[in-house]
């Protein structure tokens, strides 16, 4: 079955290529801000809503007078204009914030849609030519899109391909997963995965680097270097967390035919200032996202179920303990006498909801 898959590689550009990548990024940021300003001005002064294709045509004419804009691939320039219109669509249809101008350091990537090829040592990008890269994994499939992005530790390319991914062999294992902070997740089979707390472990080093930034004079070269060191450390934490999530989710997908999780409103939960840092460090959103797309790749079933009462309901008889508080980690059902671990009981209820049956107070499944 044809599926969309993305590979990420670290680029190893020459000094000249690094300068050119930086110039492209600056040009794309300029085009983004110019497009946004042009669209806003037309509406505010003349009540004219200009279309995407009209702006792209005007941009092609403008590029002929500015070599540093024309140096950027034409389809890359068009993709920048599309980003502005996607930002407007996010504001009007999804309730996101109104599009803002991109400051230096905020605009970090540009894209290619065609004429991208890759071999064992180089990736060929339109106008930029061949760029060496770190071949960390084979790229299989038809390349549809490539995105070059600058991170704190260098330049990366994300290659989006369409590949024929074969489903995994069928298994008889079905699990529910309850995510948490103390334990990253507990499965309905009783497996507990402890929270690695990547940010917490790196916090001492991050504080040291932050103090070094604070002690440097604003605008100085030494402050810029200190900021880069701090950003690289944050990037290491993010990479470590992402690597852990990939390995964990791949194992869970391989071992289980179906996986069910709670449908959490993580954005609302982050409004709790006491838990926001721990929730962000655990990375629930990315973990669930990985499970979802990997299940689609490999022919597994993935479900999100209503999170209401998953901790309060007895998974054996269905009794609802409405007096159960967050501080109570284990309890005994007064109806059937079953002793419950809070997280394990929640995981079992999540699994039961996904397979389409619940347990009533008299112990009958329906």
What are the backbone angles phi and psi of residue 185, rounded to the nearest 5°? -155, 150
Catalytic residue among 79, 150, 262, 281: 262
Residue 287: both structure tokens together: 């973990």
Residue 119 falls in the annotated catalytic set: no
Q: Alpha carbon of 91 to those of 142, 227, 234: distances in Å?
A: 33, 32, 29
Straight-line distance from the first to the last Cα atom of the chain, in angstroms, rounded to the nearest whole number: 35
* Strands 129-132 and 142-151, bridge-based pairing: unpaired
Q: Which of 111, 102, 106 is nearest to 31 (CA)?
A: 102
| Residue 243 bears catalytic tag | no
Q: Is 82 a catalytic site residue?
A: no
Residue 103 C-beta-side C-alpha neighbours within 13 Å: 0
- Helices assigned H by DSSP within 47-73: 52-63, 67-70
Q: Among 178, 281, 303, 313, which one carries the catalytic annotation?
A: 178
9-25 per-residue burial string, b: 16 or more CB within 10 A, e: under 16: bebebeeebbebbeebb
Paired with 179 in beta bridges are 185
Q: How far apart are CA 122 and CA 13, in angstroms?
A: 10
Q: What tokens does 93 get? A: 């249809």
The structure tokens listed for 135 are 């071949």
Residue from 79, 281, 313, 343 carrying the catalytic annotation: 343
What's the token pair of residue 101?
A: 């101008």
Residue positions annotated with a catalytic role: 178, 262, 343
């Amino acid at each position: 079955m044809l599926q969309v898959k993305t590979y990420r590689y670290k680029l190893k550009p020459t000094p000249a290529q690094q300068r050119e990548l930086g110039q492209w990024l600056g040009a794309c940021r300029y085009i983004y801000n110019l497009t946004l300003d042009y669209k806003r001005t037309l509406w505010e002064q003349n009540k004219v809503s200009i279309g995407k294709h009209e702006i792209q045509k005007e941009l092609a004419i403008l590029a002929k007078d500015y070599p540093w804009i024309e140096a950027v691939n034409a389809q890359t320039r068009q993709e920048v204009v599309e980003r502005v219109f996607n930002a407007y669509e996010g504001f009007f249809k999804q309730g996101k914030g109104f599009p803002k101008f991109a400051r230096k350091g905020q605009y970090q990537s540009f894209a290619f849609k065609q004429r991208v090829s890759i071999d064992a040592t180089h990736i060929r990008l339109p106008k930029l030519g061949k760029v060496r890269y770190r071949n960390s994994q084979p790229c299989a499939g038809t390349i549809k899109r490539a995105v070059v992005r600058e991170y704190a530790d260098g330049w990366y390319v994300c290659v989006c391909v369409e590949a024929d991914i074969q489903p995994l062999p069928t298994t008889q294992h079905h699990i529910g997963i309850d995510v948490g902070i103390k334990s990253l997740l507990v499965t309905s089979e009783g497996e507990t995965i402890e929270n690695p707390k990547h940010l917490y472990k790196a916090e001492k080093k991050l504080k040291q680097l932050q103090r070094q930034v604070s002690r440097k004079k604003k605008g100085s070269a030494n402050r810029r270097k200190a900021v880069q060191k701090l950003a690289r450390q944050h990037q290491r934490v993010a990479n470590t967390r992402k690597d852990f999530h990939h390995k964990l989710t791949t194992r869970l997908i391989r071992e289980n035919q179906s996986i069910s999780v709670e449908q959490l409103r993580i954005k609302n939960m982050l409004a709790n200032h006491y838990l926001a840092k721990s929730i962000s460090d655990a990375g629930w959103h990315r973990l669930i996202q990985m499970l979802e797309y990997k299940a689609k790749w490999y022919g597994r079933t993935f479900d999100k179920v209503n999170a209401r009462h998953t901790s309060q309901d007895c998974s054996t008889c269905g009794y609802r303990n409405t007096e159960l508080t967050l501080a109570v980690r284990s309890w005994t059902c007064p109806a059937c006498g079953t002793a419950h671990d809070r997280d394990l009981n929640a995981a079992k209820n999540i699994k039961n909801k996904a397979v389409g049956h619940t347990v009533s107070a008299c112990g009958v499944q329906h």
